[in-house]
Amino acid sequence: MKSYRFSNRDLLVIAVLSGIGGVMSTYIGYLGNLLNNLLGVPFGAGQFVAGLHVFWLVLAAGLVGRPGTAALAGLLKGTVELLTGSTHGVAIVLVSLIQGAVLDVVLYVVGEGSLGYALGGGLAAASNVAVFQILYFSGAPWGYLLFISVLALISGILFAGSFGKGVLDLIRVVQPTRLAAGRAPNKRSLALSAVLLVLFSAGALYYFASVYQPPWAGPECRVEGAVESPISFQLSRFASQEKTISAELKGQVTYVAPQDYTGVPIKAILAEARPKEGAETVRVVATDGYEVPFPLADVLNDDDMILIQEDDTLRLIAANYAGGYWVRQVSRLVIE
């Protein structure tokens, strides 16, 4: 029977992987938004990368090998996500903890083989849909919830279970004594895992170098692209032009009753940047890579599109558009 007592080495491994996983969660959200944009939907398709959130828990469970490892790693990972500005707030701690607990249970019952990792990774990844539905019941159709749960399940099997097991085998090849009592890893699986690891790392480097803005930098936005005067600003710069509008958020799965919002009209911000002749589009881009396009002419004539400060981030209120256009964590306005 395995010991439940963690050594100092075990705790160090859990802390390091949880920290990396928590920080990388923003990059995983970016990948999800890329999928949403590619398929032309504001949400849902991103569940296909949900397994990458659980990947770090699989690594921790495999390297430490003690009951409760994944749950502890999930708790720490969720806390790191919360402290680094997760849009889900404190709920992300519970989501990550439950993912780890699900993985622990499956590995304990099924065992730490390929099946255990695949099944555990899949169920852990899919659990996020259920937890968010319980915490924030949105009235979404059950057919839709089933669909995104299946996407998350497949993602967990591939990116948490299979990919995670492959990376564990790569690590153990460097430490051959860890394989003495087990089965030799499949060379094709090792090669595929190595390729995925390189691609994942390269994408992360690009994201954190070119896209990501840390929450501690403050709620700042840039206007760039086809403009005469690119600017970087905080909303206080336009305090004299603030206005209050009443808006109702009508999303496909989210609804917020009409309420007042006070902020700065986008057209006032763009007026200072002075879009160049021939520019046609405004892309509103968030720190996690989510973006939506608007016709520039419509924005310049829209009195009900404002930028507000909300929870130390900037949010677009687009009263004349569906909820998917109300971008959170706005960081750039790109004129094209």
pLDDT tens-digit readout, 273-304: 999 999 999 999 887 777 889 999 999 999 99
Q: Which of 245, 247, 268 has the alpha carbon at shortest distance from 325? A: 247
Q: 147-156 burial, b if ≥16 CB within 10 A, otherwise e? A: ebbebbbbbb
How would residue 214 be classed by pLDDT, with cut points 50, 70 and 90? low
Q: Which pLDDT band, with edges at 50, 70 and 90, does 96 fall under? A: very high
Residue 179 has what pLDDT?
Answer: 47
Element (H, E) at 135: helix 114-135
pLDDT of the residue at 195: 80
Q: Nearest-CA neighbor of 160 among 316, 295, 51?
A: 51
Rounded-to-integer distance, Cα 294 and Cα 149, Å: 31
**Amino acid residing at 184:** A
CA dist 50 and 206 (Å) reads 20
Percent of the chain beyond pLDDT 90?
Answer: 43
pLDDT at 4: 66
Read off the tokens for 257. 């009753």
| Distance (Å, whole) CA 280 – CA 226 | 9
Positions of CATH 3.90.420.10 in the chain: 216-335
pTM score over 0.85: no
Across 147-174, average pLDDT = 86
* Residue 85: Cβ within 10 Å count: 18
Q: Are 24 and 91 in contact (CB under 8 A)?
A: no
Angstrom distance (rounded) from CA 309 to CA 331: 12
Tell me how far apart the alpha carbons of residues 58 and 27 are, in angstroms, rounded to a whole number. 18
3-state secondary structure of 256: strand
Q: Side chain identity at 84, as an amino acid letter?
A: T
Tell me which residue of 69, 64, 159 sits closest to 117, measured CA to CA: 159
User: Could you tell me how far CA 157 lies from the centroid of its own chain?
Assistant: 18
- Which amino acid is present at 273? A
CATH superfamily of domain region 216-335: Oxidoreductase, molybdopterin-binding domain (3.90.420.10)
Looking at residue 278, what is its pLDDT? 92
Rounded average pLDDT over 200-219: 70
Q: Does 265 or 204 have the greater pLDDT score?
A: 265
Q: Which of 78, 97, 98 is nearest to 89 (CA)?
A: 78
According to the model, what pLDDT value does residue 185 have? 59
Task: Assess whether pLDDT exceeds 80 at residue 210.
Answer: no
DSSP state of 316: E
| 148 or 77, greater pLDDT | 77
Q: Quick one: DSSP state of residue 236?
A: G
Query: Six-digit token pair at 40?
Result: 């032309």
Lowest mean pLDDT among 115-119, 179-183, 327-331: 179-183
Name the residue with higher pLDDT: 186 or 1: 186
Q: How far apart, in whole angstroms, are the C-alpha atoms of residue 335 and residue 296?
A: 8
Q: Does residue 211 register a pLDDT over 70?
A: no
Tokens for 80?
């790191």
Instruction: Determine the Cα–Cα distance for residues 293 and 144; give it in Å rounded to an integer.
Output: 25
Under the banding of pLDDT at 50, 70 and 90, the label for residue 3 is: low
